[in-house]
Structure 1
Amino acid sequence: MEHGQSIAITYTSVCPAKCVKMADMQRGYSGVIECTEWRGFFNCHKMDELSDYLRSRHVPEEDIQRMEQEKMDSSVITLMTDDQLREYLPSYGDRLAVFGYCRRKEKEPTSRKSKLFDRLRGKLLKEFWNDFYEQCTMGNGFKVPYLRHDFGKQEWESVGRIITFGWQKEKYLPVKLSPVILEQALLGFVESDLVDSFLKYVSESERVIFESCRSDFEGVDQEELLEIMDIHNCRRLPTADNFEPILKEIAHQKLIQEPAFVIEQWNNTLAPLRSELKGIAAVYEELQPTSRKIMRSMTYPSTQNAQEKQMVKYVSAYLRESDTQHLSLFLRFCTGSDLFTGKSITVSFTQLQGFQRRPVAHTCGCYLELPVSYDHYPDFRHEMNKVLDSNVWVMDIV
């Protein structure tokens, strides 16, 4: 892959063979790019790593942007003289450090495939699990694995290895899976409230009926209740006295008994996580994005002019009014993961205007570049939503 080359990567839907390939992610990206149904173009160049290094030395952002615009990567800088580089980096210490950094980078025997895969790993996990939820699970808020005739022992073990790999490499868990599934597989027993998880598994209309039965059984439409109980294969007539035990039995059947084969296959593959994931429900809660968590993870320049201070207020207002879906999309845009994994987001400001004005994110280093040319908050909110809702992610891969 040469500098500036565009690579088209095509993803196909989840199938048993591709689940097995996905489980071998650490071997490289060649077996992974087929795992989810998503298309993207990746511009591969070396500039991102150099820019990250310059930012770590607190080089002014305008100098970094100028070098990016002129496509000065490590291979170019090794051909320059000190006088030539002085036009971009006035500090002698920065020039010496950059020359040394670029010479080291040019000598490193790195694998481009491996580096590409490392950058895409979080995105691929997100896309894989989105397709997995659609094609291999049942449920509303919480999902439960669905037994398929084309998914046997090997395929479900591979999915278990993907869970292990995602946590070990990215601190990523498929949080839409009911936590009782992972608890049973990891611990051999359930810590979470089984009925509460079941109520998040059923449809919204069924949840309303079940909760009404728990508080006022006589006030519920009995005909509708019986229809719902029949859907869940209930063989007893519910009454005010026996409804709670029946509900617990149905919850156990749906969440533990029916996916028992899957849980059995995951029991061994998730074994490396037992010491780390003793409180699944707490881990789920920590991974859920909130506006407060994201705002605390963002770092802004220490000195700001009036326009930049206004942009900080716009970002805070945007995060506070965003729903969970848009908070996840914002995290995915900035970090590559739709879950809150504790990564710090470094914000800088640009002078982009007109058709070039747009928020720009570098997921490799979790950098967010924001133009300061928005006249009003609604303009910023509209443009940010357009970027996040487009589901088109332009990623610069080193």
Structure 2
Amino acid sequence: MEYSSLDDTLPLSTELSIESSMPPSMDMFQEQANQRERVKKIIVLHRGQILRELILVFSEENIMENDFHFQVILPDGKLENAVDDGGVMRDILSEFWNDFYEQCTMGNGFKVPYLRHDFGKQEWESVGRIITFGWQKEKYLPVKLSPVLLEQAVLGFVVSDLVDSFLKYVSESERVIFESCRSDFEGVDQEELLEIMDIHNCRRLPTADNFEQILKEIAHQKLIQEPAFVIEQWNNTLAPLRSELKGIAAVYEELQPTSRKIMRSMTYPSTQNAQEKQMVKYVSAYLRESDTQHLSLFLRFCTGSDLFTGKSITVSFTQLQGFQRRPVAHTCGCYLELPVSYDHYPDFRNEMNKVLDSNVWVMDIV
């Protein structure tokens, strides 16, 4: 699908409010001129097409100077019934980066962009602006990108351990072989090792003495050299983040969702009856047993962001029953409504998982 224009991007004139009792001054006239220059826009995107459309929006060099908010069109052509008070923006960032990981990167735990024939200088600069926008507006970073990649792009040098990042980039089977080589080189299946080294274009025979050096060289090639063009395009666009992101690895750690972080962010009614107290226990049990993927889905369901950005989640209880019974989230205000009609914890867990695993993210609360 081609995107040659942004006809759905609607400019809104900015209203100026100046006290009539104040005498005119040059400062006032300058302020009026500055406000007129900042045009407020509605950016309309289409669910399922956000990757391409957001890149097109941020291809404008001065896009960050504008004041704008988002609206989303559903696949059936209807407008999502939501006001962008932060929740829609967070949800758009989450969808964009999930699609970006799938379509524009290689790697396992950590991802690295790969060069596509349909992505040139303009597209990669646009992605860099989206990184800057996400951090400045919502403290959102694409934490699945290898941290050494962003360190090189933001700071101009690598801080994190290259080999550790590389071991999270490769597949699980390759990681097991590489770690075994580091601890007991002679005990590794040499034929399998050579096959893996050939996949990574290694042209030297690995030995117990040179394996660590070869591993560092391959890590540098995969994480720094191969995405060098992308890093170059991101370098200028990410410049505003240099003072804030001197410790990217620490920021990554803060953004990673954990059950403890989420439980601490949740606020319940001060007074609760027996059913409501039981629901609080169900939620805590659910979060404790959830894997990282479901913790991310839970956060996105409640806040719009699949990362832990420090948002407080306010919980209330409802009396929904039967076919109407379901958890309901209001992402703009980070509210979660939970029915109290579950007889057993497995019933709640099953229903919560169905909601999260449906992967249907529709902002339907104004």
TM range (shorter): 0.7 to 0.9
The residue identity in structure 2 corresponding to 1:395 is M
Q: 2:55 aligns with which of 10, 16, 19?
A: 19
Q: 2:253 aligns with which of 285, 300, 304?
A: 285
Are the structure 2 counterparts of residues 292 and 137 from structure 1 closer, same or farther at C-alpha, using a change threshold of 3 Å?
A: same
Alpha-carbon offset, residue 12 of structure 1: 2.5
Q: Normalized against structure 2, the TM-score is what? A: 0.82
Q: What do residues 44-71 of structure 1 show as CA deviations (whole Å, max 9, x unaligned)?
A: 37xxxxxxxxxxxxxxxxxxxxxxxxxx
- Work out the CA distance in 1 between the residues paired with 2:79 and 2:86: 14
CA contact (8 A) 1:10 1:40 kept: no
- Work out the CA distance in 2 between the residues paired with 1:303 and 1:377: 22
- Work out the CA distance in 2 between the residues paired with 1:149 and 1:394: 32
Q: 1:208 aligns with which of 147, 168, 176?
A: 176
CA contact (8 A) 1:186 1:274 kept: yes
- Work out the CA distance in 2 between the residues paired with 1:369 and 1:345: 10
CA contact (8 A) 1:142 1:177 kept: yes
Q: 1:178 aligns with which of 137, 140, 146?
A: 146
Any residues of structure 2 matched to 1:45-84 within 5 Å, and which?
none
CA contact (8 A) 1:28 1:117 kept: no
- Work out the CA distance in 2 between the residues paired with 1:166 and 1:292: 24
Q: 2:116 aligns with which of 112, 126, 148?
A: 148
Superposed CA RMSD: 2.3
Alpha-carbon offset, residue 134 of structure 1: 1.3
1:269 corresponds to:
237
- Work out the CA distance in 1 between the residues paired with 2:301 and 2:316: 15
- Work out the CA distance in 2 between the residues paired with 1:208 and 1:147: 28
CA contact (8 A) 2:319 2:339 kept: yes
> Secondary structure, in 3 states, of the residue corresponding to 2:364?
strand
- Work out the CA distance in 2 between the residues paired with 1:182 and 1:190: 9
| Structure 2 residue 342 is matched with structure 1 residue 374 | yes
Q: 1:312 aligns with which of 266, 269, 280?
A: 280
1:259 corresponds to:
227
Q: What do residues 333-357 of structure 1 show as CA deviations (whole Å, max 9, x unaligned)?
A: 0000000000000001111111111
Any residues of structure 2 matched to 1:105-116 within 5 Å, and which?
115-116=83-84
| Structure 2 residue 197 is matched with structure 1 residue 229 | yes
Q: Which has the higher helix share?
A: 1
- Work out the CA distance in 2 between the residues paired with 1:346 and 1:172: 21
Any residues of structure 2 matched to 1:24-39 within 5 Å, and which?
24=63, 28=68
Unaligned ranges ≥5, structure 1:
1-6, 46-114
Alpha-carbon offset, residue 156 of structure 1: 0.8
Unaligned ranges ≥5, structure 2:
1-43
> Secondary structure, in 3 states, of the residue corresponding to 1:385?
helix
Q: Normalized against structure 1, the TM-score is what? A: 0.76
2:329 corresponds to:
361
CA contact (8 A) 2:282 2:345 kept: yes
Alpha-carbon offset, residue 41 of structure 1: 5.9
- Work out the CA distance in 2 between the residues paired with 1:121 and 1:363: 10
- Work out the CA distance in 2 between the residues paired with 1:39 and 1:203: 38
> Secondary structure, in 3 states, of the residue corresponding to 1:346?
strand
CA contact (8 A) 1:40 1:394 kept: no
CA contact (8 A) 1:187 1:274 kept: yes
Aligned length: 319
The residue identity in structure 1 corresponding to 2:57 is K
> Secondary structure, in 3 states, of the residue corresponding to 2:117?
coil
Alpha-carbon offset, residue 397 of structure 1: 4.6
- Work out the CA distance in 1 between the residues paired with 2:216 and 2:76: 43
The residue identity in structure 1 corresponding to 2:103 is Q
